Structure 1
Amino acid sequence: DEPSTITALRGSRITVTGRGSDVEAFLGDGAIRVSTGRRWGVELTMPAQAVALTLRHGGSRRVIVLEPRADAAPRVRLTSPPRDTIMQRASGVIRVLVTIEEDIGIADGYIEYMLSSGAEETFSARTVVTGTREFRGATRGDLSAAIDLGPLRLGPGDVISIRAVARDANSVSGRGVGVSDTRTYRVARRDEYDSLTVEAGAPIVPESTVVSQRMLILRAEALLREQSVLTRDSSVTRVRGIAADQIRLRERVHDIIYPAHTHPEGEIEATGEPEDVEEGTGPINPHLKTAYEEMWSAARELQIAEVAAALPFMRAAAAALDRARLANRYYLRSGASRVVVDVPRVRLQGKDKGSSATRTPRASERALQEIARDFARAAAIPEPAAAANELSLIRVRALAELPEFAAALAPAIEALRRGRDPGAAMAIARSELDRADAIARDGAGWSRW
């Protein structure tokens, strides 16, 4: 066939034969064995990287490019179910259908699904494999399975993720594994039906106030349990501490409700009725207003050391804060503010003197320069066979550094081998090299204002 390039999968066995004798063969820079007889022959394995196979006989030379290709993984497509789904309850059967295609051959395939439940520290998951099938080297195959949701006992918030996996029959460079897209079925939580899905935002202040209120309740309950063994002075001191914290928390809620009328730092109200008029602008959150009033009543009872009487008001305040925290909220998107810089005023005002150094060309830039130089020299060689050999050596290196240029160079080499005019193919290869050079120059250019 007189090939200029041999393309094969990595690890493939390659045999090159020809007529004649006294042939020498080199793979890269190393000599390899040549069998003799009625025909000479060279047997080798396709390497992982592109390399030149050089054949010599007397004063003539022939360069063949060995271009390895990686084996593609099997193409696995999940045709059913077609999309992700949210279920109100986990019941029924999920029909799973899969198609597999592979160039070399399919070894086996299976369907797997993962069941996950819980969240954060209580998260758990397990994987189940079903529908396993052997294909014995077929280039196309199908998988199917039926997943009954009833016995799985999925609860609210649980998720089942389904995908298909297939392996090819490549025993030379290693089996490739193909995976389909994943389909997810999720059981809706009970709180999803009366809520609005919005873009997540930062927690609002009631998130922290509800936690603080619960801590105060825990402190009050602990004091109530220990009150029988405490002296009156110790009990009153601890109650007053809880009362002071309750008043401070109440004023935090006040500042949320009435942002235009906040209290000075450290100033708290010990007496007086809650405000009945709206201050500031915008509607008042009714849950926060309820929490504010309940905190006022709780603080009043705590100030007279009545812990048992204060606890119902404290719990009511915590419940109101919970309602405010779980209420529907909207997070409005906004763009980042523009930073305005007075360029004439700040130019040359920096204190850093800087230091100069010789710019070292990057490895890719050096490779491009060397390939361009060698290409120009090879294009000037008048003898077609010698020019084809030199261009083949250039193409071996370009496969790793400039794959687009290497692809454009192949028709020019083939034209020289066949005795055709290589002018058009050489022009295309040269334009591809110029394009790569322009991209490299633009990437290395200085940025401007």
Structure 2
Amino acid sequence: MSMPLDPTPLSPSTLLTRVEQLRDGLHAVRRTRRALLSVGVLLAVLVVAQTARLVFPSVAAMSWAVWGAVGLLLAGVMYLWRAPVAPDVARTALWVEERAGREPDFSLTTAIELLATRQPAGETLLAAASRVLERAPLREAITADKTTAWRGPAIFAVCCLLLLAIGATVSRGTTDTASVASSVRSGPAREAAAVSAPMGAWTIQVQPPAYTELPARTLGDVNNLTALRGSRVVLRGEGDPPMVALQRLAGDSSRAVSPVRADSTGTGWQTSVTATAAPLTLTLSRGGTRRLLVVEGRADSVPLVSLDAPARDSVFREARGVLPLIATARDDIGLSRASLELLVSSGEGERFTVKAITRGDTRWNASSHTRTVTLRSSLDLAALGLQPGDVVHLRAVARDGHPESTREFGSSETRAFRIARPAEYDSVAVEPAPPPEVDKSLMSQRMLLMLTEKLDKAQRRMARPEVVRESLRLARDQARLRLAVGDVVFQRLSGESSAEHAHAAGDGHDHGVELQGGKLAMGTSSTTGMLEEGNDSPVVAINQPLLEAYNAMWDAGRALEQGDPHAAIPPMKRALEAIERSRAASRLYLRGKPPQVIVDIAKVRLAGKDTGRVNVRSARVARPTGVAARDARLVQVAQLANSNVAAARDSLAVLRAESLVDAPAFAEALSRTLEAMTGGGDVTTRFVDARRVLGIVVRTRATTWSRGVVP
């Protein structure tokens, strides 16, 4: 068996040349890897651009050329940052020896280092280096390096191309990778064509809240609409999605503008917004044109309830007879429940009982949309077992289908029926008169006291905001009751019907009482000779406790407004005791007081003196800032209507939406102006009428002496 002969040693120049060629090949592999990474970065930027254009329509205005320039810049930075340097021949020779399959003897590396520095290498060293070079599988080694270096960047680039293809399929309906690349190259032209398409007509669908179970309604191409609070307003149009901006309005102050997403559909675009209590505007722009949509949110009103029979309060000598009970309830959407509530109070002082009774409780489903109902029932006084002095309070209540737990219910006015006590029948013949309002105040004050004590016991288990809310509700009821008691006092003392009129000393007329720190006190003219001990005047006997009750109610209301029901209980008890004293003292129904003479003609006739001086003109009150600002905006809209009717109509619609909350009459005048602008023709009269409603234009008589100008 013969041994293989060693290969002929290569010449020094041939050996060095072959190693240098191998070095250049390895360097090309590294440069190709860096180029693939740069291409991947460029494709990644394009994928990000396409995703942003699909998710955020506002980004669609950015040209593809801008995204391409950003991608090329990042790709160039990636290629030039730490660019690969060609390895030297000694490192390449060492790479060959590592892949020769044996323990490296560094013969090739030593020979190449000597030849690279132009030093002679021996024949034995050249022969050993030639054997290493011929024994190493260089082709397989280079192929393996290429696979390792190029696989990752190539996979990343292919994934980016697939994402671009998917995005192109979603936006343009194509799955071909070549057409994706073509669309990327022609992106600026396509974008310019899409942006150049102006806004066209749209259709609007209003979907009411689920609890109403009302059908959705479809509107045409309208610029404003009224929707129930919580309704979903859907806009649909043709073409590419426009840019949509949402703005919520509240009086004269406007909130910040927020973008709204418009989605692409198979035939066009679609966007939606939810109607709120405050008006809101949607501004849609595309192709250099804009359109405005005003959505007016309408709140679900509380049911309106009226008690038709009995028509008035009554006092019965005996607890006998049957009273017909008739009530009517109305709601804008539909009623869910209605009933008649009775509250029977027995006893007097601090020892009394209260019993609640419900009659005619009826329920309806939301799908029936029952808007108007009439409740009919009867009240048998004998069946209630009433005793002399008992009081029956009657009212009707109704609820709608609103799901909120804090939703208020509608209630009617309260009717009071009292069984007279035997001690009330006197032998004095008096003119018949209706029962006093003191009995109503007594019962209402007891109810408020019970509710306040209940809230005081439960506030430990309730959250502080809920306690404050319930306390404020009781404070409002206490204020209404205090005004009713004050009306009784002023009707008896001075003939006036309002306790909230300004009653101060020295105001030029006598009220009988004076307002001191929010409370009422007997005036000098009323107390002189009437409040002395031993005076049994019925006016004093009634009004003095009522004044105490009024002031105690004031203290109770202040405590309830501060969210402190515990502090409101003592003054409420004092008010109840004072009403009891006034009720016990009320034995006679007084006749009406003759009206007070305003001007005594006989006294002032020919009593004037000419001083030769005229009265000083009073200072004129400046117009509110909001009114002046709205007038200025209205004048600007009127001037804009001469040049751009569409822009003037949009500005007028926004002004109308802002005025719906605090200036409904002005908003109604602007609605008539908008209708006139839509119909065409001269709208000067409508603008003048709107300014007159706002209080700016005042019509004056066109006479010779008048300096006013007819508008």
Question: What's the TM-score, normalizing by structure 2?
Answer: 0.39
Aligned with residue 406 of structure 1, among 667, 683, 686: 667
2:690 corresponds to: 432
1:50 corresponds to: 279
Counterpart check, 1:375 vs 2:637? yes
Larger helix fraction of residues: 2
Change (3 A) 1:115 1:194: farther
Change (3 A) 1:361 1:175: same
Tell whether the 8 Å contact from 2:394 to 2:414 is kept in structure 1 after alignment: yes
For residues 206 and 394 of structure 1, the distance between their equivalents in structure 2, rounded to whole angstroms, comes to 60
Change (3 A) 1:378 1:398: farther
Change (3 A) 1:187 1:44: same
Change (3 A) 1:142 1:161: same
Once the two structures are superposed, residues 348-387 of structure 1 have per-residue CA deviations (whole angstroms, 9 ceiling, x without a partner) of: 9xxxxxxxx9997633333333333332333233x33233
Moved more, 392-401 or 98-107: 392-401
Tell whether the 8 Å contact from 1:77 to 1:181 is kept in structure 2 after alignment: yes
1:384 corresponds to: 645
2:402 corresponds to: 170
| Cα RMSD after superposing both structures | 4.1
Change (3 A) 1:22 1:326: closer
Matches within 5 A, 1:274-423: 332-333=593-594, 335=596, 362-381=624-643, 383-414=644-675, 416=677, 420-423=679-682
For these two proteins, the number of residue pairs brought into alignment is: 320
Tell whether the 8 Å contact from 2:669 to 2:689 is kept in structure 1 after alignment: no
Tell whether the 8 Å contact from 1:81 to 1:96 is kept in structure 2 after alignment: yes
Per-residue deviation, 1:173: 11
1:136 corresponds to: 365
1:27 corresponds to: 246
Aligned with residue 412 of structure 2, among 156, 172, 180: 180
Question: What's the TM-score, normalizing by structure 1?
Answer: 0.59
**SS at structure 2 position matched to 1:112:** strand
Letter in 2 for 1:380: N
Larger strand fraction of residues: 1
For residues 327 and 411 of structure 1, the distance between their equivalents in structure 2, rounded to whole angstroms, comes to 58
Tell whether the 8 Å contact from 2:306 to 2:329 is kept in structure 1 after alignment: yes
Change (3 A) 1:83 1:330: closer
**SS at structure 2 position matched to 1:386:** helix
**SS at structure 1 position matched to 2:594:** coil
Counterpart check, 1:104 vs 2:366? no
For residues 128 and 398 of structure 1, the distance between their equivalents in structure 2, rounded to whole angstroms, comes to 45
- What are the ranges of 5 or more consecutive residues in structure 1 without an aligned counterpart? 212-324, 349-356, 443-449
For residues 311 and 697 of structure 2, the distance between their equivalents in structure 1, rounded to whole angstroms, comes to 42
For residues 96 and 327 of structure 1, the distance between their equivalents in structure 2, rounded to whole angstroms, comes to 31
Structure number with greater CO (CA < 8 Å, separation at least 6) is: 1
For residues 274 and 404 of structure 2, the distance between their equivalents in structure 1, rounded to whole angstroms, comes to 10
Tell whether the 8 Å contact from 2:344 to 2:355 is kept in structure 1 after alignment: yes
Tell whether the 8 Å contact from 1:108 to 1:136 is kept in structure 2 after alignment: no
Per-residue deviation, 1:336: 6.0
Change (3 A) 1:46 1:192: farther
Letter in 2 for 1:370: A
1:319 corresponds to: none
For residues 155 and 66 of structure 1, the distance between their equivalents in structure 2, rounded to whole angstroms, comes to 58
For residues 120 and 429 of structure 1, the distance between their equivalents in structure 2, rounded to whole angstroms, comes to 64
2:303 corresponds to: 74
For residues 628 and 405 of structure 2, the distance between their equivalents in structure 1, rounded to whole angstroms, comes to 32
Counterpart check, 1:160 vs 2:392? yes
Tell whether the 8 Å contact from 1:367 to 1:401 is kept in structure 2 after alignment: no
Tell whether the 8 Å contact from 2:342 to 2:395 is kept in structure 1 after alignment: yes
Once the two structures are superposed, residues 88-147 of structure 1 have per-residue CA deviations (whole angstroms, 9 ceiling, x without a partner) of: 111233332333332211111121012234566667644333332211123233434333
Matches within 5 A, 1:234-245: none
For residues 337 and 392 of structure 2, the distance between their equivalents in structure 1, rounded to whole angstroms, comes to 23
**SS at structure 1 position matched to 2:654:** helix
Larger CA Rg, structure 1 vs 2: 2
2:228 corresponds to: 9
Q: Percent identity?
A: 29
Change (3 A) 1:388 1:328: closer
**SS at structure 1 position matched to 2:402:** coil
Letter in 1 for 2:335: I
**SS at structure 1 position matched to 2:389:** coil
- What are the ranges of 5 or more consecutive residues in structure 2 without an aligned counterpart? 1-219, 248-256, 434-490, 494-525, 537-585, 701-711
Moved more, 37-46 or 186-195: 186-195
